[in-house]
Every structure is written in structure tokens, then in C-alpha cells.
Amino acid sequence: MRLSDFNNRREQVAEQPPKQPHAPLSVAPMMDWTDRHERAFLRVISENVRLYTEMVTTGAILHGPRDRLLAFDPAEHPVALQLGGSDPAALAECARIGAGLGYDEINLNCGCPSDRVQSGRFGACLMAEPDLVADCVVAMRGAVDVPVTVKHRIAIDEMPEWDTLVGFVDTVAAAGCTHFIVHARKAWLDGLSPRENREVPPLHHDLVHRLKAERPDLHITINGGIETLDAAAGHLEHVDGVMLGRAAYQNPYLLAEVDRRFFGADAPAKSRHEIVDAYLPYIELEVATGTPLIAMTRHILGLFNGVRGARAWRRYLSENAPGFEGTPSGAARLVRDAAALVEDTATAQVA
Ligand SMILES: Cc1cc2nc3c(=O)[nH]c(=O)nc-3n(C[C@H](O)[C@H](O)[C@H](O)COP(=O)(O)O)c2cc1C
């Protein structure tokens, strides 16, 4: 893609309404990972997969560097803003700000287990306060026209799994939320780190399938431990959407077949080298405005995973991108040189 093409796509996309209010495939909100540079990169790989920001707290939006925190590129659409908070008025105000900036969906985080989040009384501990979440949803829906969605766990701590899940969803659905994204495991708020809370509590995909079966009018997206498109296709026989997290970040080429497989696109998947070329105009634009090159290259290290030369690509970027102070075209050349260390993979596929 040339720079002019990239800008054309931005303008076209900015004028379009959101493609699908509920996408069958999405990439999870991931703090420090799904920043705007990562999202722009993923968008080059798939035109349709729905993207989520990192969680942004209401406090940061209302009292912090809002413009920087909420900035996104129009090419990122469809893109959802994930909010962290539990004060209905603050959430409504932040939802209004986000929708005003053009986000296609506002999502409330009820799944994050970190201590910092618990002390602010939001994230996963809200699973124990469905009435408060319902109040938040009412306030947010009153402030915006775009969908308001909730991402949550099955339950927390000793709470019973199915009863907590269905009770939470019913209460929040009564407030008008119709789309739930369920990370299919409990969160243990005491004793497990956030990372352990993504690995230790067992996955219960069956409970999310049951939720859809028993609440067929709701849009249910499943999340947690889904690592291949075949697995995603299997889940889509039971639920409306699949959200991929770590697999999409660590192995972004996983998304190359998503448009054809899940969104009815005809165009062949891009090769990894074509993806690099298509991302270069974005890198040049960002470097031109002072963004350090490494802010982009750190997200693309996994692109060639599983292909001969992947290590050389990673090493070249890791050695040369930090501290880079050259021109935008020099930055593009550096990334192109790294890609040249990898064999042509036009036909290589990821399951
Ligand atoms: C580095 C990292 C940061 C995360 N940050 C968030 C976040 O900001 N908001 C959120 O709802 N979930 C967050 N999560 C959880 C993911 O959205 C997702 O629910 C979880 O990783 C399970 O999906 P997976 O097994 O496909 O990765 C994060 C996960 C990771 C790995």
C-alpha cells in the first residue's frame, strides 16, 4: 500500500458506518499490547476483525492526558473503547467523549483482577455487584448511540459459576445491554496475579455455550484460550462471536485468513511480506510526527513466527529499532531490511 492509498483508506473508512455492530471475530483489549500502533498493524492484516483498545480508566480520561489516551487512527475502524470504572456518571461522560471521537462501541471492563483495579472498585470485582453494573450501563447507554457492551468473567472467588454468570448477565441485560463478552474462567481476586488469573482458573467454554443456548436473544462472545481459527469456527457453532487475545498478539499472522473465513471477503490473504509493506506508510507517518520506531516494531516481532528466518527478523529489529533517530524513510528501510532476512512466505499458512 502506498502512502496515498493508506490515506484514501482512512478517508473512506472514516465516512462509513460501523461495518457490523457485532463482529464474529475480535481481538481482545490487552493493556500495554493493543495500543494504537498494534491496532493499526492488525488492521493491515484484517480489514474486518473488531479491535479493542487497552482499558482506559474514567479517572485517566477525565483528569489525565485524554487526547493521547484516546487517540486512534481512522483506519482502525471498527474499533471499541474499553473503559474501566464504576461510577455511572463518570462512565457516561467517558462514553460520550469516546463516542464523540468516533469509537464504534463502548465496552465496560468487568474482568480485570489486578489489585489496582480492585482498590478502584472496578474490573472483575464488579461481578459481585451486578446492580451497580446495571446502573453504569443505563448511564452509558443514555449518553451514546453506539453499542454499550460488557466484558466479564464467569464468576469470582468462591461464587458459584453458573448461577453467578447467569445472574450477572440477566441483571445487566435488564438494563439494556445486549452484547456480553465472556472470558470463560473465574477470577481469583485474592492470591493470584493478573497473569495467573489468565492461566490458572480452569476454562469453562461449556458455560458460555450454555449461556447462549439459554439466552438466545443476547449476543454472546466467547473469550479465553482460543488459539486457532479452526477452534474459533467450532465455537461459532454455539455462540455469536469469538474474541482472540494472546494468540492474536503473539502470532498476528493468525488473522490473515479471518476476512475470507469469517467475513465473506474474496481477496486472498496477504503474505507476511505484503503485510510489512502495507504497514510501512503508517510507520513513516508516525516517525515523522516523533513516535519512536520501537513503539511500532515491538508489536510486529511475532509476524514471521514459525517461518525460517524469524529469529533474524526479530534480532535485526531488536538491535536496530531502539534508539533509532533517522528519517521516516530510513525507518521504513530498516524494517524492510529486517524483512529481507526472511524467506518469501507467500504460501505459508497458519492454521
Ligand atoms: C497483556 C494482557 C493485558 C490485558 N489487558 C486487559 C485489559 O486491559 N482489559 C481486559 O478486559 N482484559 C485484558 N486482558 C485479558 C484479555 O482481554 C483476555 O480476556 C485474556 O487474555 C484471555 O483471552 P486469551 O486466552 O485469548 O488471551 C489482558 C490480557 C493480557 C495478556
List Cβ neighbours of 228 (8 Å cut-off, separation of 6 or more).
247, 254, 351
pLDDT-derived band at 118 (thresholds 50, 70, 90) equals: low
Residue spans of the domains in the chain: they are 3-262, 272-339
The answer, yes or no, to whether any atom of ligand 1 lies below 6 A from the CB of 197, is: no
How many A from CA of 242 to the centre of ligand 1? Answer: 13
pLDDT at 21: 59
Distance from the CA of 41 to the center of ligand 1, in angstroms? Answer: 18
Ligand 1 center from residue 194 Cα (angstroms)? 9
Over residues 209-233, mean pLDDT: 98
Q: Which atom of ligand 1 is nearest to the CA of 223?
A: 23
Regarding the beta carbon of 183 and ligand 1, being less than 6 Å apart is answered yes
Q: Is the CB of 194 under 6 A from ligand 1?
A: no
> In CATH, which of 3.20.20.140, 1.10.10.10, 3.40.50.300, 3.20.20.70 is domain 3-262?
3.20.20.70
Q: How many CA atoms lie within 13 A of 310 on its CB side?
A: 15
By annotation, the residues acting in catalysis are 112
Q: Which of 82-96, 242-256, 334-348 is predicted with the least confidence, judged by mean pLDDT?
A: 334-348
Decide if pLDDT at 11 tops 70: no
84 lines ligand 1 (CB under 6 A): no
Q: Do domains 3-262 and 272-339 have the same CATH topology?
A: no
Q: What local confidence, expressed as pLDDT, does residue 350 receive? A: 45
Task: Report d(CA 9, CA 270) in Å as an integer.
Answer: 17
Residues constituting the chain = 351
Amino acid (1-letter code) at residue 41: F
Mutate which of 25, 26, 31 for ligand 1 pocket (most atoms within 8 A of beta carbon): 31
Q: Does the Cβ of 328 fall within 6 Å of ligand 1?
A: no
- Model confidence at 205, pLDDT cuts 50, 70, 90, reads very high
Contacts of 264 (CB under 8 A, 6+ apart): none
**pTM score of the predicted model:** 0.93
Ligand 1 centre and the CA of 245: distance in Å? Answer: 6
The SS3 of residue 103 is coil
Gap from CA of 95 to ligand 1 centroid (Å) = 21
CA gap 183, 211 in Å, rounded: 13
Q: 272-339 has which CATH code? A: 1.20.120.1460
Regarding the beta carbon of 28 and ligand 1, being less than 6 Å apart is answered yes
Q: Which residue has the higher pLDDT, 95 or 15?
A: 95
Of 133, 127, 136, 55, residue with least CA distance to 89: 136
Q: Compute the average pLDDT of residues 291-295.
A: 98
Q: CA 273 to CA 258: how far, in whole Å?
A: 18
User: Looking at residue 129, what DSSP letter applies?
Assistant: -
